[in-house]
Structure 1
Amino acid sequence: MASDTMAALCVAHIDAETAFSGGEVQVFLLIEGLRARGHQNVLLCPPRSRCVLEAHAIGIPCREVGMRNDVDLAAVVSLFRTLRRIRPDIVHLHTGRATWLGGIASRLAGIPAVTTRRMDRPVRRGIQTRLIYGHLVQRVAAISDAVADRLISGGVPPEKIEIIRSSIDPTRLVPDRGRAEVRALLGVGPREPVLLTLAVLARRKGIDVLLSSLAHLRARGFEPFLWVAGEGPERSALERQAEELGLTARVRFLGHRPDKADLLAACDAAVLPSRMEGLGVAALEAMAAGRAVVASSVGGLREVVRHGETGFLVPPEDPKALAEALFRLFEDEKLRTKMGEAGANRAVREFHASQMVASYEQLYTSVLATRKSQ
């Protein structure tokens, strides 16, 4: 229920993605959290997208709006008309394309807007950036200090930036099946070492680096299993790489898995060899499940994984360094267990979904209060 000091809001969320990745998971965590606090939510997203299915599944009102590219004027018109019908108190823009197209539509409709920046990519200085952050949105939420730094380097005024980190809901990470059952289903013995990576199979996630590191580990006589849970454009290339390295007997490409809680409970450690990462929710999920994490020292991962305490950070694109960290983790079971326990405490204490939802609620009310006073 909305807090005693504020009225319930109507929030229109715009997401232009047709796929469903970590960003969309965060959108739905936020929507469900806001609903639990008494706020109304409407989701505007592409037709036949996974977001439409998810919204219908949990009873969130959804309006289907195609957003084909960044110059889709028809999308701007459709978004504008939809917003005029809904008349939300505020619009929350969740992706780059949504920020541009939805930002224009919100401005035309006279409705204040905020956006969330999730990607650890440079923000290009230019007219589009000036228009978005100077005129179309009132505030921008960065999911990590690293993303905030990118925004500032791109010319976004620091006073317009609010750091609201991505989060986890620990109740969604309770496994349905036992460790032994999951391992048996995947053809792995109860004492075999197992690594898990949860990631979109795209170059930025560095799975190719991880496969190369496994070849280094094999040369040292250590051959863990690797479960790769996720889909993406690089899957075929990664499968070929695993075959060329002679790793097919130890690497399982599992595709999209709704049972990630089961996989986390059944693995021994998680690994995120990303080349860039806005924050690293997969690392948070692994930590919440009590698993030590080995990750690249990039972007927001440096704010999630505490080196030597909840896992290890290694230089990106360095298979040898990654292999060394993994070897060290697996040769010391007590250390691995200690790191897992520390990670679980940190994830639940500092990255709980309720904190994210409360922060966005405060951001909305701040924007609306400022607008009313003008």
Structure 2
Amino acid sequence: MRRDRLLIVIDGMEVGGSQRQVQQLLHGLDRRRWEPELLYFRSPSFLVDEIARDGVRVHCIRKRHRVDLPFLWAYARLLRERDYALIHAFSLTAELASVFARALARRRPALVASERSFALDRPRWFWWLKGFAIGRSAAVIANSRAGARATAQRTGMPDARFDVVPNGVALPQVISPDERAALRHELGVAEEQLLALFVGRLVPVKNLPSLIRALAALEPEQRPRVALAGGGPEQDALELLAADLGVDANLVFLGERTDVPRLLQAADYLVLTSHFEGLSNAALEAMAAGCPVIASAVGGTPELVDNGRSGLLFPPDDAPALAAAMARMGDAELRRRLARGATAHVNAHHSGGALAAATSAVYERCLRAKEYAKNTGVAGPEPVQGPAK
């Protein structure tokens, strides 16, 4: 079997959904077929160490400015030295850097772009640059049908340029009842109180003020303990809002955690209040852990959470609706039913092996098209696996 060298590129390796998907993909790729490597530009985290321990060669080239010629020359030098067959870029910054570094290196590895954020409030120049990058890519992998459709529309690119590959997730190691009880005690959960968990960056797109307003709308005896696992620039503002609304005693800020699977098994449910989502890695991890999900019905989330079967959905930025969903989670039988539905869905559709296999199939198609063009002097056939119908 031929073994091709592959470079996964992402700008930052902080703890986030895309970064966890990079880790899942690198772990799941068939090492008999691929020799995967990782390149990132900033913000290392424990995920980098875990990827390296998994036998993946890791490169860090610091990008210090928006236009950084020394960075581009260093990236081009890496392309010349390592002679990759294919680059898969996981962000617009990584896509643009890859386009220009390939030109400087005079190397033409196939380029696969990504659509993951589903942030529709981006300015016009963002979509112009995204279209520029996609136009120079052999394929685009989106993690949701909604994200693929929206990006195709805003960039003017044909639907056939996109492949939809849902996120993958690994099943967690099950914790014991004693460990669960000890973790809930550590988080300050009172007897008979529920524990609601948020996992993600404390940034505006996550719309966490909506969660705090919903918490305040609940009767005091209904309020869960809310733990926020993640860091970010919004923490001070969130603490002030919670104090103003009189619910600061119900909140605990955990910062970045390396034990999210344990936290999810200790929680009674996960809450996601985002303005935009692609396909939420936090929701996937919760579902895999048997933790029910309450989420805003945005982006690719309705593709993942079947309302009333594998979780509860509410209209975005609707704190009263979120409060009503949180109140419903007081029903233990409902939580058990949602957890069963969520776990069954993840097992059927979102394994790490499925992520790697579907992504690898896109890589293979891109390399076949490149080989066809090399042998015939004409471009290969257009991709045919477009987004959702």
TM-score (norm 1): 0.92
Shift of 1:293: 1.0
Equivalent residues in 2 for 1:248-327, closer than 5 Å: 248-327=248-327
Give me the whole-angstrom Cα distance separating, in 2, the residues matched to 1:94 and 1:70: 17
Give me the whole-angstrom Cα distance separating, in 2, the residues matched to 1:282 and 1:18: 16
Partner of 2:363: 364
Give the alignment partner of residue 116 of structure 1, picking from 108, 114, 117.
114
Partner of 1:345: 344
Partner of 2:378: none
Give me the whole-angstrom Cα distance separating, in 2, the residues matched to 1:70 and 1:40: 30
Structure 1 292/55 Cα, relative in aligned 2: closer, same or farther at 3 Å?
closer
Equivalent residues in 2 for 1:1-374, closer than 5 Å: 7-34=2-29, 36=31, 38-46=33-41, 49-50=44-45, 52-107=48-103, 108-122=106-120, 124=124, 127-135=128-136, 137-154=137-154, 155-170=156-171, 172-175=172-175, 178-218=179-219, 221-330=221-330, 332-374=331-373
How much is the aligned-residue C-alpha RMSD, in angstroms?
1.9
Shift of 1:52: 4.5
Secondary structure of 2:52 counterpart: helix
Give me the whole-angstrom Cα distance separating, in 1, the residues matched to 2:184 and 2:131: 52
Query: Amino acid of the residue matched to residue 23 of structure 1?
Result: S
Secondary structure of 1:46 counterpart: strand
Shift of 1:47: 5.8
Shift of 1:69: 4.2
Q: Which deviates the most, 62-71 or 113-122?
A: 62-71
Secondary structure of 1:258 counterpart: coil
Secondary structure of 1:249 counterpart: helix
Unaligned runs of 5+ in 2: 374-389
Shift of 1:292: 1.6
Query: Amino acid of the residue matched to residue 232 of structure 1?
Result: G
Q: How many residues align?
A: 365
Secondary structure of 2:277 counterpart: coil
Shift of 1:367: 0.3
Give me the whole-angstrom Cα distance separating, in 1, the residues matched to 2:51 and 2:249: 39
Kept in 2: contact 1:310–1:340 (CA 8 A): yes
> In the TM superposition, what whole-angstrom CA distance separates every residue of 1:138-178 from its partner, at most 9, and x where no partner exists?
111011011101211121221110001111011x4533772
Shift of 1:21: 1.3
Query: Amino acid of the residue matched to residue 169 of structure 1?
Result: A
Shift of 1:70: 4.0
Give me the whole-angstrom Cα distance separating, in 1, the residues matched to 2:339 and 2:69: 49
Secondary structure of 2:192 counterpart: coil
> In the TM superposition, what whole-angstrom CA distance separates every residue of 1:91-138 from its partner, at most 9, and x where no partner exists?
111122011111222344221111221111237476533421112x11
Give me the whole-angstrom Cα distance separating, in 1, the residues matched to 2:227 and 2:328: 19
Q: Which deviates the most, 364-373 or 67-76?
A: 67-76
Q: Which deviates the most, 52-61 or 278-287?
A: 52-61
Kept in 1: contact 2:15–2:256 (CA 8 A): no
Q: Which deviates the most, 63-72 or 221-230?
A: 63-72
Give me the whole-angstrom Cα distance separating, in 2, the residues matched to 1:358 and 1:212: 42
Identity fraction in percent: 30
Query: Amino acid of the residue matched to residue 119 of structure 2?
Result: R
Structure 1 263/34 Cα, relative in aligned 2: closer, same or farther at 3 Å?
same
Give me the whole-angstrom Cα distance separating, in 2, the residues matched to 1:241 and 1:333: 30
Give me the whole-angstrom Cα distance separating, in 1, the residues matched to 2:173 and 2:232: 23
Give me the whole-angstrom Cα distance separating, in 2, the residues matched to 1:190 and 1:35: 47
Kept in 1: contact 2:92–2:130 (CA 8 A): no
Structure 1 174/121 Cα, relative in aligned 2: closer, same or farther at 3 Å?
same
Query: Amino acid of the residue matched to residue 93 of structure 1?
Result: A
Give me the whole-angstrom Cα distance separating, in 2, the residues matched to 1:274 and 1:143: 17
Query: Amino acid of the residue matched to residue 213 of structure 1?
Result: A
> In the TM superposition, what whole-angstrom CA distance separates every residue of 1:69-105 from its partner, at most 9, and x where no partner exists?
4422322221111011001111111122011111222
Structure 1 7/56 Cα, relative in aligned 2: closer, same or farther at 3 Å?
same
Kept in 2: contact 1:143–1:278 (CA 8 A): yes
Partner of 1:3: none
Which runs of 4 or more aligned residues in structure 1 lie more than 6 Å from their structure 2 counterparts after TM superposition? none
Give me the whole-angstrom Cα distance separating, in 2, the residues matched to 1:130 and 1:303: 25
TM-score (norm 2): 0.89
Structure 1 242/104 Cα, relative in aligned 2: closer, same or farther at 3 Å?
same
Query: Amino acid of the residue matched to residue 324 of structure 1?
Result: A
Secondary structure of 1:91 counterpart: strand
Kept in 2: contact 1:106–1:112 (CA 8 A): no
Kept in 2: contact 1:195–1:270 (CA 8 A): yes
Give me the whole-angstrom Cα distance separating, in 1, the residues matched to 2:33 and 2:130: 34
